[in-house]
Amino acid sequence: MLKLEMHTVGLIALTTCLLIGLSEADEWEFPEDFKFGVATSAYQIEGGWDADGKSVSVWDRITHTTPNFVQDGSNGDIACDSYHKWEEDVTMLKDLGVHYYRFSLAWTRILSGGYTSTVNEAGVAYYNKLIDKLLENGIEPVVTLYHWDMPQKISTLGGVTNNVWVDIFTNYARTAFERFGDRVKTWITFNEPNIICHYFHSVLGSLQPDYPNGVIEYLCTYNLLKAHAETYHIYDREFRHKQEGKVGITLNFEWSEPASDSPEDVAAAERRRQFDFGLFANPIINFDFPKVVVDRVAERSKLEDFPRSRLPQFTFAEKLNVKGTYDFLGLNHYTTWLVSDDEEPSLDQSGFYIDTKVARQQDPAWEKTAVDDNRVVPWGLRKALNWIKTTYGNPDIFITECGHSDLTASLNDDRRTNFYKTYLNATLEAILEDGVKVKAFMAWSLMDNFEWNKGYLVKFGIYRVNFTDPERPRTIKDSGTYYKEVISTRRI
């Protein structure tokens, strides 16, 4: 009798365990409203650099005048030739089963004059065809207005640092809303402002190389935020009631983990997060630039003998105007750093990275990728998502880029597959266990493309593109097949 009872208890326990296990497994899937996508950008895939009335962008110019600026001496003149092969791109998207396709508009195709009202109808027609075809196939366009290919004419005027930049940019943004907003419901104003202001204005230094970078970088930050906010308000005032879309911004964020438990390193890691992400997110979501950044730039500016902080101050009215200008937050995430406090850098250098006063390194045990220092650290994504949740009151987050690079273009790209497996799992943990409101994941990238100053050497695609063939044939990689399965099962 006793024996039988024990047996029964055991059976009940086993069944319960199995049931719990089963239901947990059942729940370990992406929520119903979660959307999957892939991302690209105009200069990186389109080609057709001077087709049908398109004007010259800064990337056309720099690659044509300074070919060694790009590691393999290449350019985006033809790239993946999506200007001609867009239908094939849509077929690939359809086959993957994605809900979203994130691409960017080439400003130079739409307003060849950069800052004029004359619309280049051929450029508009190109995007109209693409958008219509996407919608016909049940794929929602997610459109970035500015993904780094500034009209050369605007750059010559000083680009983002020009006094009339807000007007210049919003003139373009309004044109895009007018022409495409009846069908495009998700807009991103800027892709990675951190790179726009702190990389392009310092490393490229193509604007005014003699001007102190540390001044230009923050002037760019300040003007870019004002243009973002004004674009949002224009959408609100003139378009939202009839178009009912969403407007956000995409910020890049490499996670900063303290290198040790020392209070100095913990503070340094937080400082670096505020410089990288808070500088843009805080004015938009909370209020004004983050205090730690304001204080630090003021301190360093004083040491550098500037009469006032190099970081411009928003007026109270401007702070109010920028606050709340987002319907979602776009996040591009690739990697993680171990951050420690640094000594005050010598005074012969100036700029954003100097201002942060941190030293960064990566654990050599972390898996490397083809991009230096883009090591694979999935837990960093989960931490970054949680930090955003707590620092900004749990906003809706769209992961607008996340991806893995190699040099081989091999179709058997196991490392990329594993990257997606682990980063998607980190995303799922953040959603299901931590309550972060991640609403979408967009893989970078749909296909191998022009990776800026690395040219075609570095591959991020889940489709391979053969760049030596004039037809630019595309072939799905194993990671693409894996991603397709995740999308259809909503499981990793």
Catalytic site positions: 192, 401
Nearer to ligand NOJ, 202 or 332 (CB): 332
Per CB under 6 A, residues contacting ligand NOJ are 41, 44, 191-192, 332, 401, 444, 451, 460
What kind and span of H or E run contains 399? strand 397-401
In angstroms, rounded to a whole number, what is the distance separating the alpha carbons of residues 183 and 181? Answer: 5
DSSP designation for 105: -
In angstroms, rounded to a whole number, what is the distance separating the alpha carbons of residues 291 and 294? Answer: 5
Whether residue 440 contacts residue 401, with contact meaning beta carbons closer than 8 Å, is answered with no
Nearer to ligand NOJ, 112 or 191 (CB): 191
Whether residue 438 contacts residue 431, with contact meaning beta carbons closer than 8 Å, is answered with yes
What kind and span of H or E run contains 186? strand 186-191
What kind and span of H or E run contains 191? strand 186-191
In angstroms, rounded to a whole number, what is the distance separating the alpha carbons of residues 210 and 206? Answer: 10
In angstroms, rounded to a whole number, what is the distance separating the alpha carbons of residues 232 and 246? Answer: 9
* Bond before 206 cis per omega within 30 degrees: no
In angstroms, rounded to a whole number, what is the distance separating the alpha carbons of residues 217 and 205? Answer: 10
Whether residue 355 contacts residue 292, with contact meaning beta carbons closer than 8 Å, is answered with no
Nearer to ligand NOJ, 42 or 219 (CB): 42
In angstroms, rounded to a whole number, what is the distance separating the alpha carbons of residues 306 and 411? Answer: 54
Nearer to ligand NOJ, 115 or 366 (CB): 366
Give the tokens for residue 387.
């930090």
SS3 content of the chain, % helix, strand, coil (to 5): 50, 15, 35
* Min CB(136)–ligand NOJ separation in Å: 27
Nearer to ligand NOJ, 193 or 214 (CB): 193
Nearer to ligand NOJ, 341 or 401 (CB): 401
Sequence-separated (6 or more) residues with CB below 8 Å from residue 437: 389, 394, 395, 396, 397, 431
Q: How many CB atoms lie within 10 A of CB 22?
A: 10
* Min CB(254)–ligand NOJ separation in Å: 11
In angstroms, rounded to a whole number, what is the distance separating the alpha carbons of residues 96 and 441? Answer: 14
In angstroms, rounded to a whole number, what is the distance separating the alpha carbons of residues 41 and 141? Answer: 13
In angstroms, rounded to a whole number, what is the distance separating the alpha carbons of residues 384 and 119? Answer: 41
* Min CB(200)–ligand NOJ separation in Å: 12
What kind and span of H or E run contains 318? helix 316-322
Sequence-separated (6 or more) residues with CB below 8 Å from residue 3: none
* Min CB(119)–ligand NOJ separation in Å: 26
Nearer to ligand NOJ, 36 or 200 (CB): 200
* Min CB(161)–ligand NOJ separation in Å: 21
Whether residue 398 contacts residue 143, with contact meaning beta carbons closer than 8 Å, is answered with no
In angstroms, rounded to a whole number, what is the distance separating the alpha carbons of residues 218 and 203? Answer: 15
* Min CB(332)–ligand NOJ separation in Å: 5
Give the tokens for residue 247.
């407007």
Nearer to ligand NOJ, 80 or 215 (CB): 80
Nearer to ligand NOJ, 115 or 199 (CB): 199
* Min CB(403)–ligand NOJ separation in Å: 7
What radius of gyration do the chain's Cα atoms show? 24
* Min CB(443)–ligand NOJ separation in Å: 11
Whether residue 247 contacts residue 187, with contact meaning beta carbons closer than 8 Å, is answered with yes
Residue with tokens 């550098």: 304
Of 418, 423, 373, give the one whose Cα is nearest residue 402: 423
* Min CB(62)–ligand NOJ separation in Å: 15
Nearer to ligand NOJ, 58 or 215 (CB): 58
* Min CB(461)–ligand NOJ separation in Å: 10
